[in-house]
Amino acid sequence: MKDSKDKISISKATIDRLPLYFRTLRLSQEESMEIISSEELGQRLGVTPEQIRKDLASFGQFGKKGVGYYVSELIRNIGEILGLDYNWHIAVVGVGHLGWALANYRNFDSLGFNLVAMFDVDPNKIGQCIKGTEVFHLDRLKEVMEERTIHIGIIAVPEMYAQEVADQLVAAGVRGIWNFAPRKIKVPEAVRVINEDLSVGLSSLSFYLARQTPTN
């Protein structure tokens, strides 16, 4: 019988908290911390120590009772759980303001994501290099993606072109899509999509702020 623990018993909420633990541990490492307790980690994140221990126990036994977690060891363990040791190749489609910002995101490399190509249709952008990454015409997407073994595509194009770009990425063999266009895209079940709709986030923030009692 196939072990399906990872697929069934581990909640999305637990998985979503792992990157927060990873980031906070790395910041702790920069502060020269060698050992951290679940209490300290929880205080930094606003998560209970019990929840942290429960989340980590879903993947194995980490740390020592009465001592805490060895920071470098837990960073390595969580990085492996998140698959950050795979050195994923990524590409950005759309070299507008958002595309430029993503290309200059300094944490891609440190997390193990390698930006290896960018794509656009503007002839003035084709051939440019952004932080050493070349911009190709969208017509060459399949060719370049296969040549450079690109696993993840980032969609940073206007809404009306998002599905068309998604179709091209899928046809090129992409395994995951990070979609910044403000619309849902349809892809085969085997392709994982994360939607990052900035307008939804701001609108949600507006909703809560509008209901606060004015201070003035």
71 is known to lie in a ligand binding site: no
98 is known to lie in a ligand binding site: yes
94 is known to lie in a ligand binding site: yes
* Dihedral Cα 135, 112, 178, 145, nearest 10 deg: 40
In the numeric block, the tokens 């090129």 are attached to 172
* Dihedral Cα 159, 162, 163, 165, nearest 10 deg: 160
89 is known to lie in a ligand binding site: no
Report which secondary-structure segment, H or E, holds 179: strand 176-179
Distance, first Cα to last Cα, the chain: 64
83 is known to lie in a ligand binding site: no
141 is known to lie in a ligand binding site: no
Positive or negative torsion for Cα 101, 104, 106, 109: positive
The binding site for NAD(+) consists of 94-99
The binding site consists of 94-99
